[in-house]
Structure 1
Amino acid sequence: MKILLIRHGETIANKTQLVLGTSDVPLTDLGRRQAKAAAQKISSMEPLPNLLFSSPYYRAKETAGYISKLTDLNPIYVDGLKEMNSGDMEGIKASEMNDKYPEYMSRWRRDHSTARPPGGETLGEVHTRAWKSILEIFNDYDEDLIAVVAHLFPIQGIICNVLGMHSNHFDKLAINLGSISSIEIEKDSYRLVSMNETVKID
């Protein structure tokens, strides 16, 4: 099974460097153009994806919607593909994290995978549930090509698992907004086919 991993397009939170996990925000004008460009690339593939999965958050649903229009695939929403729950840090500026949450940031610098924001979840938990969702899709559906729309941390977690990398090395994987990565999964083997392919937009 080949799986396309599509990161949603830009949101205002991405544009203004806000911590955003569970908040439901729409795409910006640029984000919609990114999503349309990704959808056009996917719709030109031969063969087309057989199934479309998505995080249920609006920015991912909106991105999946553009793919749906061009492929006639109805999105299947999967909770395990959600972005990291940032808890009490949700909505603050990234530049304020050190001042407002020094204990968490100290733990984060020591071990990304186990540091838990107040009221939120750890990066390791995000990576585990995202990978579990991918394996469930592989086991439940007998298809050659599927598309998955998700977020930065889940996609990085999936690729970390494919490569056998520890979650702490997630930041070595560049996954741009609106980008497409792809993996192949067989019964006992995983392979990264492409990563962070970004479609040029006008």
Structure 2
Amino acid sequence: MQLILVRHGRTQANAQARFPLTSDVPLDGVGREQVTRTGQLLAASDFRPEVIHSSDAARALQTAAALRDVIDPDLSITPRPELRELDWGELRGRSISPGAAGDTSYARWQQDPMSRLPGGESLIDVATRVDGMLRLLADDGRPAIVVSHAVTLTVLTARIHGWDLLETWRTHRAHLPPGQFRRLELTAPPVPARSLPRRT
């Protein structure tokens, strides 16, 4: 089945290079423009989605609604907690940049993203959520748009392709900028996330 993965449009937190403080962060003006352009590209393509699955965060649902309005006003949007962004725990609201102006915790976690952030999640936690979502999509079988977040979409892309999760994370080969999309084919659900290799 065909999937379009879309990262939500830009937010003020993205523009400031900060981890979002809450799930209620809305799109900013640039983000709204990004999503409108993506919707126009998808509407002009040969892809015909039958449903939109979206993270239940405000910025993702806002993105999903904007895409629906451009592509097909009759498309249903289903909020999915499984598609939430990685829980940043104690990093919420902090700067992504390390050093005096930011926080070194993120840089430390980058060295071992399979471990849980303090008060948050690991990549394995996200993979477990994503795998449940992929099984749901495979069972449903309809071509779909999936609206989510940077880390979650990286994990989802790696799981669909069968790529090593840690290598995918470190090479950034699955990264999507805000408002951008990727088209993929889902042929079968992945093996359980617990079998993912952990490298040091």
Q: TM-score range by the shorter chain?
A: 0.7 to 0.9
Q: What secondary structure, in the 3-state scheme, does the structure 1 residue paired with 2:97 have?
A: helix
Count of residue pairs brought into register by the alignment: 185
> How far is the alpha carbon of 1:175 from its aligned partner?
0.9
| d(CA) in 1 for partners of 2:29, 2:110 | 34
> How far is the alpha carbon of 1:112 from its aligned partner?
1.7
Q: Which runs of 5+ in 2 are unaligned?
A: 191-200
Aligned amino acid, residue 81 of structure 1: L
List per-residue Cα deviations over 1:53-86 (Å, max 9, x = no partner): 1001011011101112131212001110000111
Match for 1:163 among 149, 161, 164?
Answer: 161
| d(CA) in 2 for partners of 1:109, 1:67 | 32
Query: TM-score when scaled to structure 1?
Result: 0.82
Indicate how the Cα distance of structure 1 residues 109 and 186 shifts in structure 2: closer, same or farther if over 3 A, else same. Answer: closer
> How far is the alpha carbon of 1:178 from its aligned partner?
0.9
Indicate how the Cα distance of structure 1 residues 165 and 99 shifts in structure 2: closer, same or farther if over 3 A, else same. Answer: farther
Checking the alignment, whether the CA contact within 8 Å between 2:6 and 2:182 is kept in structure 1 is yes
Q: CA RMSD in A?
A: 2.3
Report the equivalent of 1:92: 94
| d(CA) in 2 for partners of 1:22, 1:127 | 21
Report the equivalent of 1:194: none
Q: What secondary structure, in the 3-state scheme, does the structure 2 residue paired with 1:49 have?
A: coil
Matches within 5 A, 1:51-90: 51-70=51-70, 71=72, 72-90=74-92
Aligned amino acid, residue 127 of structure 2: H
The percentage of aligned residue pairs carrying the same residue is 27
Query: TM-score when scaled to structure 2?
Result: 0.83
| d(CA) in 2 for partners of 1:127, 1:98 | 32
Indicate how the Cα distance of structure 1 residues 47 and 12 shifts in structure 2: closer, same or farther if over 3 A, else same. Answer: closer
Matches within 5 A, 1:1-202: 1-20=1-20, 22-70=22-70, 71=72, 72-96=74-98, 105-106=107-108, 108-114=109-115, 116-139=116-139, 141-143=140-142, 145-169=143-167, 170=169, 171-187=172-188
Q: What secondary structure, in the 3-state scheme, does the structure 2 residue paired with 1:161 have?
A: helix
Checking the alignment, whether the CA contact within 8 Å between 2:54 and 2:78 is kept in structure 1 is yes
| d(CA) in 2 for partners of 1:118, 1:180 | 31
Tell which deviates more after alignment, 26-35 or 94-103.
94-103
| d(CA) in 2 for partners of 1:150, 1:133 | 12
Checking the alignment, whether the CA contact within 8 Å between 1:23 and 1:90 is kept in structure 2 is no
List per-residue Cα deviations over 1:165-202 (Å, max 9, x = no partner): 2222222323111111121122479xxxxxxxxxxxxx
| d(CA) in 2 for partners of 1:104, 1:98 | 13
Aligned amino acid, residue 35 of structure 1: V
> How far is the alpha carbon of 1:101 from its aligned partner?
6.2
Tell which deviates more after alignment, 17-26 or 77-86.
17-26
Aligned amino acid, residue 93 of structure 2: G
Q: Which runs of 5+ in 1 are unaligned?
A: 190-202
| d(CA) in 2 for partners of 1:126, 1:22 | 18
